[in-house]
Structure 1
């Protein structure tokens, strides 16, 4: 699963949990008010917050606070994942150069040093090889899976595979 999709699912779950928490806290407060009113009516006292046992003390319920912090943290992770970019894993390919001829190895090393590729005509100039011989050598390297040629106008761009 992609991180962006997972992040969106986490955000959706966080919003759902947050809505349920708000509903739960609202219902809990309503029940507390109803219990307070019922107690005051049964005891025959006026609705006085100072005498009502439901309003005695200023105890803060830590459960909603801790769960809100936890939900916010998880939501933050979801936002981070939703906004993150894909990471591309580039694997280095190992080449067996033992079966290559001297000129093929020279071309391979030249391509290895030029990571973005090099034009076929530049290889001819640097190694002082004729165009025909260069084409044949590059054909062999391409068949063996070492290089790839891309047509660029009147010349070829040669890249390592």
Structure 2
């Protein structure tokens, strides 16, 4: 499995811990995030992750910022991307089971590091249920 990860300045510490956790499980990680806590513009780090997911160069993406909202909004502009805001285990499960999310967006300012790692594990271990949910997921993209 290969994961692309990106973060802004609010998610640097989380990103380092998540990368270490994933690599300890034998998961390859492509790091597009900043490695500093100096202010940066999150879209610069989101677009490469979303492009990897959209083009299926990776299995999933993980994005981290202060609220999780900015990274989710940016990622969801890309075709075939379904980025979900995940702040607790139960929401994370539903994001995968019902929405077939392929990018997990974590709000670093509203989750502990331990919660963030649990969210990542839950996201990667939860399967899409398909069935009635597939019809809904098929209606997400806009046709021009």
TM-score range, shorter chain: under 0.3
Structure with bigger strand share is: 2
Structure with bigger helix share is: 1
